[in-house]
Amino acid sequence: MTFTVVWKPRQKRHLAEIWISSSDRAAVTRAADEIDRRLRLLPLEEGESREGEFRLLLIDPLGCKYQVLEDDRIVKIVRIWKTH
């Protein structure tokens, strides 16, 4: 069973800003798509555990902090950033 990946609106805007300012927009697009794909399938097996219920996933050139709401089958992306 898959999870629904939900991006907080501010993080969607930030991803768009990263994409616009990137010299390799294709890499940003691929990374964002891969984040969505991985978190849709096995979010608790991806990334690293962090404080509380949060996890951290790095897919070059992006990093994201996310929360898994297992009972609701939802993954919330709470922060996105460019890794380099």
Residue 43 — pLDDT band, cuts 50, 70, 90?
very high
**Residue 44 CB neighbours (<10 A):** 12
Based on the structure, what is the number of domains in the chain? 1
What CATH number has the domain bearing residue 20? 3.30.2310.20
Phi, psi of 46 (to 5 degrees): -100, 155
Of the CA atoms within 13 Å of residue 67, those in its CB half-sphere come to: 11
Token pair belonging to 34: 């891969």
Alpha-carbon gap, residue 31 to 60, rounded angstroms: 6
pLDDT of residue 84: 82
The parent domain of residue 71 ranges over 4-82
Tell me the pLDDT tens digit for each residue of 60-74.
Answer: 999 999 999 999 999
In the block, which residue shows the tokens 């991806």?
46
Percent of the chain whose pLDDT exceeds 90: 90
